[in-house]
Structure 1
Amino acid sequence: MSKENLSDWPLSHTSAEEEEEEEEDDGELKVCQVCGDRATGYHFNAMTCEGCKGFFRRAMKHPTKFCCPWQGVCVITKNNRRQCQACRLRKCQSIGMMKELIMTDEAVEKRRSQIRRKRMVEEPLLSPQQEAVIQELVNTHEKTFDITFSHFQFRPIDRDLNPMSVWNQTASGQSATLTRRMDNLSSSYSTSTPTSFSSSSCSFEGEENENEKEDRSDRGKKTVFTTLPHVADLTTYMIQNIINFAKGLPSFRALAIDDQISLLKGAMFEMMQIRFNMMFNVKTGIWECGPLTYCMDDAVRAGFQRHLLDPLMRFHYTLRNLQLQEVEYVLMQAISLFSPDRPGVIHHGVIDGLQEKVAIALKVHIDSKRAKPEKHLLYPKILACLTEMRTMNEEYTKQVLQIQDIQPGNSFDPLILEVVSKDSRARTPSRDA
């Protein structure tokens, strides 16, 4: 709270009479008609300070016969008002302060309860500027999010290969460790979040495969990632749509071109997962992308490995169980996009301001549009999901480059490789890429 706001609040608790009788400050200095001190408003029918207001209330509620030791002609001032209660009370009555306006203790408590309830009911409202920001983001999202996948041109998906053979062939020097880790897959998931992995990917022979004894180049020649062409097409399609989303925002287009590149490269994986989560079915563990459906085994058959897919699966269950509205998903994407701490970002202050604006809009939206049970800790839970995705970003890049290295002839589109590359000086991702 700012110093200006603090100065508006009295140090003592505001009484019900004060709530009812104080008038708005018009800038003119008001003087207490009893002692000449600075007045805070009309109290019991007269302009007085807080001290004289309290004195009159006490004198009327607990009547005592005051006696003036100086013949009853004292001049009451700010400095001597405590010295003669009799003359002070007489002055209060002479300026029109009325005992009848003092509320009883029961009435005061009732009034205070009403004020407290009113303040609790009042919720923050989105400002016109925040409404405009949200509407712009939602409109741009709807133009660039093909939830039916009607414009997705892809190579057919081949699910013939057992996903376990892919892991056994691509585990480079860590295959034995992966084997031990995956032996515990069924038990670990039975006590935690459900998973969409098929039974074939939940158990396999624990003995070391002969292929694991061969060198990496030989394994690469034999490895066939059957779903990789399709997954690569799907990833490219999602990247193109996310680039169009970012380019459709005037605030993003206004940034320096190097910052645009850095933000897109840094946020791409996270924004893809946010969009995929909107199509995730928690009951089946399936991503329903229009007429197309995917399970995590499809990522396995494309060459991705468990130490990325395990936390990624848990993330999708966690985020989907928050039951976010579309506008909240959109604002979540924008918070991820405008992250000032991405590698290569130059103008941190500008981007930090954009992220703060979107984050505040999300917080106010939740507070004003959600019912109390729904919004409990929702905002920090969304931020926690964004943080969790960050921990997977580097592993995703690492595995994409590893798959490309193992199977360069049947791998990723140049646009994907450009996004995961660490060179922030690469050409700007284009709308038509």
Structure 2
Amino acid sequence: MHSEADSTSANSTINADQGNEDLQICRVCGDKATGYHFNVMTCEGCKGFFRRAMKRNARLRCPFQKGTCEITRKTRRQCQACRLRKCLETGMRKDMIMSDAAVEERRALIRRKKREQFETQRAGAKGLTEEQQTMIRELMTAQMKTFDSTFTHFTDFRLPEVLSSGLEIPESLQTQSREEAAKWSKIREDLCSVKLSLQLRGEDGSIWNYKPPADNSGKEIFSLLPHMADVSTYMFRGIINFAKVISYFRDLPIEDQISLLKGAAFELCQLRFNTVFNAETRTWECGRLSYCLEDPAGGFQQLLLEPVLKFHYMLKRLQLHKEEYVLMQAIALFSPDRPGVVQRRLVDQLQERFAVTLKAYIECNRPQPAHRFLFLKIMAVLTELRSVNAQHTQKLLRIQDVHPFATPLMQELLSITNS
């Protein structure tokens, strides 16, 4: 099938400047040619004339009754019949004329290719630099070395034993003083609003289930605390090791390393926990262990009022890549406004570099403009996480004050965060 070689076709038109001098002349009228059109080197004028004459299928007659008029750039409009005769004599072919629909389709294809070329050039202009690619590789390596989403190495933990004497209401809360009663009420508010069921799958295939008691005697409030302390401590150790793998972190003064870790540990843990969160089943799937949210009496919408849970649903909806998760961890870790940070300017510069890298990664790997606001959404989620961190820490401190449960590592993190 022949294709029309006109101004709408980049494939069929040959630039006249690329040929010899004599090939730059229109074979019909002698004007400057622009390329091969319908099998002959012609100018734009003769190309258009031939297409119109063939489509009209008109019977043209020479007004001078000669049929041999000389066709030049100046005379080509005087006799259409002789001009058409010259077109055919030079070899212009009617069968190479495309239909109007085919021409429009070809033009649309050319426009689409130009758009794709523009987008490719635009992405290349905003592509990841070698330094940014190195930063992402280093973060991904650190994540792989320090976080196992199957929790294979999490084996040293305590399980809730609701009937254990150690879970009785603390003596300090059995008093009827107004002050202690207020503490007890606040502890109930902090812990009772969210209830988790726990499932443990044994290596032999057995399953052990725990569900929080339905009664409000007080025992159920503390039943999961030892286990959650063990989970948190395990995660904190992974976060510390993650930071130590990052060269930018190791280059900081040891005092700033400590301040940054203790300020960001909870936030990085939540970012990691989000990767194993199943929003449809309301379950954190941690290998053999599964933690499922129990529906409260007020319904699931009431549950979403909890800041930590609201954060997990907000972040999960973004459907982030692994690279975006680790860059979020880096941005949270290198926060210059953490208490005790001395090299604030340096940490601020590092945080900005990670943020710029995240923005560049999104522009290169996410279809635009569908994800043009993703970077802003991620930064908003990180801001929300800072607020959740502060609220969560206050809750843990209140619980720790009346019922010590935190491991030594947790106690150190809590004390520094609120110093």
TM-score by length of structure 2 reads: 0.58
Aligned partner letter, 2:185: S
| 8 Å CA contact retained: 1:258, 1:424 | no
Q: CA–CA distance in 1 between the matches of 2:338 and 2:382?
A: 14
1:368 matched residue in structure 2: 364
1:419 matched residue in structure 2: 413
2:231 matched residue in structure 1: 234
Secondary structure in structure 2 of the residue aligned to 1:172? helix
Q: CA–CA distance in 2 between the matches of 1:309 and 1:229?
A: 25
Residue 118 (structure 1) shift = 4.6
Q: CA–CA distance in 1 between the matches of 2:321 and 2:315?
A: 12
Deviation string, structure 1 residues 150-203 (Cα, Å, up to 9, x no partner): 111233422758xxx99x999835839977xx9xx8xxxxxxxxx9868xx999
Secondary structure in structure 2 of the residue aligned to 1:391? helix
Structure 1 residues 177 and 354, CA, compared in 2 at 3 Å: closer, same or farther?
Answer: closer
Aligned partner letter, 2:277: F
Deviation string, structure 1 residues 84-130 (Cα, Å, up to 9, x no partner): xxxxxxxxxxxxxxxxxxxxxxxxxxx99997775444212111111
Deviation string, structure 1 residues 370-423 (Cα, Å, up to 9, x no partner): 123652311111111100011111222122222222222xx1111011011137
Residue 352 (structure 1) shift = 0.9
Q: CA–CA distance in 1 between the matches of 2:135 and 2:332?
A: 16
Q: CA–CA distance in 2 between the matches of 1:238 and 1:173?
A: 29
Structure 1 residues 135 and 277, CA, compared in 2 at 3 Å: closer, same or farther?
Answer: same
**Which structure has the greater CA radius of gyration?**
2
1:330 matched residue in structure 2: 326
Structure 1 residues 145 and 423, CA, compared in 2 at 3 Å: closer, same or farther?
Answer: closer
- Of 229, 242, 247 in structure 2, the residue corresponding to residue 245 of structure 1 is 242
Q: CA–CA distance in 2 between the matches of 1:238 and 1:176?
A: 27
2:394 matched residue in structure 1: 398
Question: Does 2:283 correspond to 1:286?
Answer: yes
Structure 1 residues 297 and 416, CA, compared in 2 at 3 Å: closer, same or farther?
Answer: farther
Q: CA–CA distance in 2 between the matches of 1:389 and 1:117?
A: 38
- Of 111, 133, 136 in structure 2, the residue corresponding to residue 134 of structure 1 is 136
Aligned partner letter, 2:146: T
Question: Does 2:337 correspond to 1:341?
Answer: yes
| 8 Å CA contact retained: 1:279, 1:287 | yes
Question: Does 2:322 correspond to 1:320?
Answer: no
Q: CA–CA distance in 2 between the matches of 1:177 and 1:233?
A: 20
TM-score by length of structure 1 reads: 0.56
Q: CA–CA distance in 2 between the matches of 1:257 and 1:247?
A: 11
RMSD (CA atoms):
4.0
Structure 1 residues 256 and 242, CA, compared in 2 at 3 Å: closer, same or farther?
Answer: same
Q: CA–CA distance in 2 between the matches of 1:404 and 1:173?
A: 11
Structure 1 residues 236 and 407, CA, compared in 2 at 3 Å: closer, same or farther?
Answer: same
2:182 matched residue in structure 1: 172
Aligned partner letter, 2:141: N
Structure 1 residues 224 and 115, CA, compared in 2 at 3 Å: closer, same or farther?
Answer: closer
| 8 Å CA contact retained: 2:162, 2:220 | no
Q: CA–CA distance in 1 between the matches of 2:417 and 2:319?
A: 37
| 8 Å CA contact retained: 2:239, 2:268 | yes
1:150 matched residue in structure 2: 152
Aligned partner letter, 1:146: D
Residue 337 (structure 1) shift = 0.3
Gapped runs of 5+ residues in structure 1?
A: 1-110, 186-194, 212-218, 301-305, 426-433
Matches within 5 A, 1:9-48: none
Q: CA–CA distance in 2 between the matches of 1:225 and 1:175?
A: 14
Residue 204 (structure 1) shift = 8.4
1:353 matched residue in structure 2: 349
Residue 230 (structure 1) shift = 1.2
Q: CA–CA distance in 2 between the matches of 1:143 and 1:399?
A: 31
| 8 Å CA contact retained: 2:160, 2:223 | yes
2:262 matched residue in structure 1: 265
Gapped runs of 5+ residues in structure 2?
A: 1-109, 175-179, 198-210, 297-301
Deviation string, structure 1 residues 226-284 (Cα, Å, up to 9, x no partner): 11111111111000000000011111011011111111111111100000000000110
Residue 224 (structure 1) shift = 6.0
